[in-house]
Amino acid sequence: MQEGHSNEKSAWQPATFKRSTALRKKTESIWDPALIKPALRASFTKLNPRTLWKNPVMFIVEIVSVMTTLITIKNIFIHHPFWFDFQISLWLWLTILFANFGEALAEGRGKAQSDSLKAMRSQTYAVKILENGQTEKIPSLSLKKGDKVLVEKDDLIPGDGEIIEGVALVDESAMTGESAPVVRESGGDKSGVTGGTKVLSGRIVVKITTNPGESFLDQMIAMVESAKRQKTPNEIALEIMLVAMSIVFIVVCATLLPFAKYMSVNVGIPVLVALLVCLMPTTIGGLLPAIGIAGMDRLLRCNVIALSGRAVEASGDVNVVLLDKTGTITLGNRMASEFLPAEGVDIKNLAESAMLASLADDTPEGRSIVALAKTILGKRGGEIQAPESSEFIAFTAETRISGVNIGKRMIRKGASDAIAGTVREDGSLPEDIQQVVDQVAREGSTPLVVSDGNQILGVVRLKDTLKTGIKERLSYLRGMGIKSVMITGDNPLTAATIAAEAGIDDFVARCTPEMKLEKIRKWQSDGNLVAMIGDGTNDAPALAQADVAVAMNAGTQAAREAANMVDLDSNPTKLLDIVEVGKQILITRGAITTFSITNDVAKYFAIIPAVFAAKYPALNILNIMKLNTPESAIISAIIFNAIVIPMLIPLALRGVRYRFTSAAALLEMNLLIYGLGGILFPFLGIKLIDMLLHIL
């Protein structure tokens, strides 16, 4: 059964973009007044050198701003002309404020996002049993270790814990990949339950043993706050480059003083400072914190909580992805895919019997049998009804059989050996049925035998079904240079079948947790960066070893602790969004750095002739922008340098869009926009500002 598979063939790519644009629409625009006000206030508090020094480039700007301000004040007192110096000082301070504003705005958005996430998450409730025996509905996230909760049929178990009362049939397929429900009961070694698993029947009291979710959110909030944020290695490396460039420009400007003096030109300190600030990479320096914070914020908007920025950026480098078969590639629940009638039995008879036996079976398997039978019998939902006299036999862990009694008809379905035991004295199956059963099992599916009284009607093939759109997603990964590897406990034949069906690059069959760990280590020692998505406790060691480890929020506590990201939606293909966000952060940094550096060319052409052409008119040929006066040239350059920061804030917050093309094509395009554009744009900008200043 491949429902919806074909008609959503190309659905994936637009879906991500659709989702992200939807998210953008959902959240405020960048210039939301509710966020602007506190950000404006924070722009000033962030001037405090004790916090600003963490951004070395802007810190240098602050030092030289203080210098020019002092010179301006001195000039006011000794009645020297001060207007020019004053303007320079003013724009220098604005440069810092603009940068602070960008950072504060990114922080504000991140905080707003994590707050709303917190609110949304607490909407799932748990029934907590109070000391006095009464119950209270509380948000799952506020559960603490030691709390007792009541879980009934169809409830999700709110957190990892231990059953202290009752027995239940629990669907743990999301955790373990094991499709068959398991019995969990108080006492003994079957008392442990994991958060996110579903109670199919029974009523239990669970004592919570861990503090769920909460701490992740707290960590996430720290990542969108500049003060607490840990810089990633990539960010540190870039910052080193920016500081090194700043140092060179300090030397360039400082040594210009004696060179100019030798050439009999006196250059004022404010002019040199203006040149320095124009040359220094203030654009990227100012926006660097905002880019990192905004990246985390975007990830949060995808409902992914990252516990380290480093892992997010590493996800852009991942070249091997381990995907669990169950839950990621296949739906995890086995679905009826075929009816195989016994000799002399009509397929409709088998289908109808199987359907009747499954009507009361609310497990995914049972529902899938009903659905398949309906298509074979050509019936619609409303037409199916159990006869009045029906008496349903529920599945139990002991009998491993379920079914229905309709009058004297006793229809049963169950595992082959269990059915055989009820049908025949010696507990064996007829030859032909046994063959079918073996064949089905060999192919990696699960055979379910259906009987009516003493007659074996046939076999239902229960098969793992591919998740919708998984094929497209995998081919997408391949396009990004990422190899997908399927991990499964199945035999190689089944694994190969599924792998071929899903278009997976490689698989590891009969995989034990130890093998997973070993494989990851091997890939890593070959130089690969390995990403893994896991949920089960047995995934924990492998998650801890992987470079990028995403745990499902529905997964076990151990898995979440070992991972460096948690996906609140428990959607294993979220990795693609994570990769995209990781890449975007880096691209945005690279693009604005390139823009910032290439801008310097125009600024030289504005300032150098302004400083020297008075003494050496020949140098006027460098004034290719034909700026009006030396003063307006310098002021225009510094104004341009300042206002380019707020102009780029939206880009820094949204991130440069990542396009799924080859590395070279991506680079070419970004070089064209931010490199060549970075050279040309300021010529235009400075000229315009100069013209405006002239008019004013």
Partner 1 sequence: MTPTNLAGILLFLIITTLLAYPLGEYMALVFTDQKTFLTPVVQPVENVFYRICGIDEKQEMSWKTYAFCLLLFSLVSLIGLFLIQILQGHLPFNPEKFKGVKWDLSFNTAVSFMTNTNWQNYAGETTMSYFTQMLGLTVQNFVSAAAGIAVLIAMIRGFIRKTSNTIGNFWIDLTRCTLYVFLPLSIILALILVSQGVVQTLGPYVKAHTLEGKTQTIAVGPAASQIAIKQLGTNGGGFFNANSAHPYENPTTFTTFLELLSEFLIPVALVFTYGAMVKERKQGWAVYWAMMALCLVGILTALYFETQGNPILKKAGVAHGTNMEGKEVRIGVMPSVLWSVITTDTSTGAVDSMHDSMTPIPGLIQIFNMAIGEAIFGGVGSGLMMMIFYALITMFIAGLMIGRTPEFLGKKLGPYEMIMTSVGLLSSPITLLIFSAIAISLPAGLSALTNHGPHGLSEILYAYASTANNNGSAFAGLNSNTLFYNLTLGFAMLIGRFTTLIPGLAVAGSLAKKRLTPATTATLRSDTLLFVVMLISVVIVVGALTFLPPLTLGPFLEQLMMHAGRTF
Q: How distant, in Å, are the alpha carbons of 177, 212, 299, 569 from that of 538?
A: 11, 19, 27, 21
Report the relative pairing of strands 548-552 and 565-567 from DSSP bridges: parallel
Q: Pick from 674, 686, 687, 689: which binds partner 1 (CB under 8 A)? A: 674
Q: Contacts with partner 1 in 525-544 (CB under 8 A)? A: 525-529
Binding flag, residue 22, partner 1 (CB under 8 A): no
Q: Pick from 419, 429, 470, 586: which binds partner 1 (CB under 8 A)? A: 586
Of 160, 171, 324, 452, the active-site residue reads: 324
Which range of residues in 67-75, 512-520, 523-531, 629-637 is near partner 1 by CB under 8 A?
Answer: 523-531
- Evaluate whether 568 touches 121 at the Cβ level (below 8 Å): yes
Binding flag, residue 240, partner 1 (CB under 8 A): yes
Query: Which 3-state string (H, E, C) describes 181-243?
Result: CEEEECCHHHCEECCCCEEEEECEEEEECCCCCHHHHHHHHHHCCCCCCCCCHHHHHHHHHHH
How far apart CA 657 and CA 587 sit, in angstroms, is 8
- Evaluate whether 634 touches 271 at the Cβ level (below 8 Å): yes
Question: Would you say 249 or 395 has its CB closer to partner 1?
Answer: 249
Which range of residues in 127-135, 294-302, 520-528, 558-566 is near partner 1 by CB under 8 A?
Answer: 520-528
Query: Per-residue x/- marks for partner 1, 607-636, CB under 8 A?
Result: -x---x---x-xx-xx--------------
Q: Pick from 319, 399, 405, 623: which binds partner 1 (CB under 8 A)? A: 319
Question: How are strands ordered across the β-sheet holding 204-208?
Answer: 135-139, 125-129, 148-151, 204-208, 161-165, 192-193
How far apart CA 428 and CA 439 sit, in angstroms, is 17
Q: Pick from 480, 498, 548, 578: which binds partner 1 (CB under 8 A)? A: 480
Element (H or E) spanning 426, and its range?
A: none
How is 33-63 classified by DSSP, letter by letter?
HHHHHHHHHHHHHTT-HHHHTTSHHHHHHHH
Binding flag, residue 174, partner 1 (CB under 8 A): no
How far apart CA 225 and CA 487 sit, in angstroms, is 37
Binding flag, residue 658, partner 1 (CB under 8 A): yes
Element (H or E) spanning 424, and its range?
A: none
How far apart CA 266 and CA 273 sit, in angstroms, is 14
* Total of chain residues touching partner 1, rule CB under 8 A: 74
Q: Pick from 11, 200, 260, 441: which binds partner 1 (CB under 8 A)? A: 260
Binding flag, residue 668, partner 1 (CB under 8 A): yes
Question: Would you say 170 or 585 has its CB closer to partner 1?
Answer: 585
Which range of residues in 47-55, 406-414, 530-538, 596-604 is near partner 1 by CB under 8 A?
Answer: 596-604
324 is catalytic: yes
Q: Pick from 361, 490, 600, 690: which binds partner 1 (CB under 8 A)? A: 600
Question: Would you say 53 or 660 has its CB closer to partner 1?
Answer: 660
Question: Cα torsion at 499, 504, 506, 510 (round to 10°)?
Answer: -40
Backbone φ, ψ for residue 204 (5° rounding): -135, 155
How far apart CA 438 and CA 424 sit, in angstroms, is 19
Binding flag, residue 269, partner 1 (CB under 8 A): no
- In the complex, minimum distance from the CB of residue 603 to partner 1, in angstroms, rounded to a whole number: 10
Beta carbons within 10 angstroms of residue 167's beta carbon: 18
- In the complex, minimum distance from the CB of residue 485 to partner 1, in angstroms, rounded to a whole number: 14
How far apart CA 478 and CA 414 sit, in angstroms, is 41
Which range of residues in 14-22, 25-33, 100-108, 671-679 is near partner 1 by CB under 8 A?
Answer: 671-679
- In the complex, minimum distance from the CB of residue 164 to partner 1, in angstroms, rounded to a whole number: 48
Element (H or E) spanning 639, and its range?
A: helix 630-654
Binding flag, residue 148, partner 1 (CB under 8 A): no
Q: Pick from 481, 512, 521, 692: which binds partner 1 (CB under 8 A)? A: 481
- In the complex, minimum distance from the CB of residue 522 to partner 1, in angstroms, rounded to a whole number: 12
- In the complex, minimum distance from the CB of residue 580 to partner 1, in angstroms, rounded to a whole number: 9
Binding flag, residue 273, partner 1 (CB under 8 A): no
How far apart CA 63 and CA 47 sit, in angstroms, is 11
Question: Would you say 330 or 593 has its CB closer to partner 1?
Answer: 593
- Evaluate whether 307 touches 101 at the Cβ level (below 8 Å): no
- Evaluate whether 380 touches 374 at the Cβ level (below 8 Å): yes
Q: Pick from 63, 120, 164, 263: which binds partner 1 (CB under 8 A)? A: 263
- In the complex, minimum distance from the CB of residue 231 to partner 1, in angstroms, rounded to a whole number: 9
Helix intervals (H) in 263-308:
269-279, 282-301
Binding flag, residue 116, partner 1 (CB under 8 A): no
Query: Per-residue x/- marks for partner 1, 215-234, CB under 8 A?
Result: ------------------xx
Question: Would you say 243 or 441 has its CB closer to partner 1?
Answer: 243
- In the complex, minimum distance from the CB of residue 666 to partner 1, in angstroms, rounded to a whole number: 5
How far apart CA 240 and CA 56 sit, in angstroms, is 9
- In the complex, minimum distance from the CB of residue 641 to partner 1, in angstroms, rounded to a whole number: 15
Q: What 3-state class would DSSP assign to 139?
A: strand
Q: Pick from 22, 34, 70, 244: which binds partner 1 (CB under 8 A)? A: 244
Binding flag, residue 241, partner 1 (CB under 8 A): yes
How far apart CA 408 and CA 367 sit, in angstroms, is 24
How far apart CA 417 and CA 424 sit, in angstroms, is 10
Binding flag, residue 662, partner 1 (CB under 8 A): yes
Q: Contacts with partner 1 in 279-308 (CB under 8 A)? A: 279
Which residues are designated catalytic?
Answer: 324
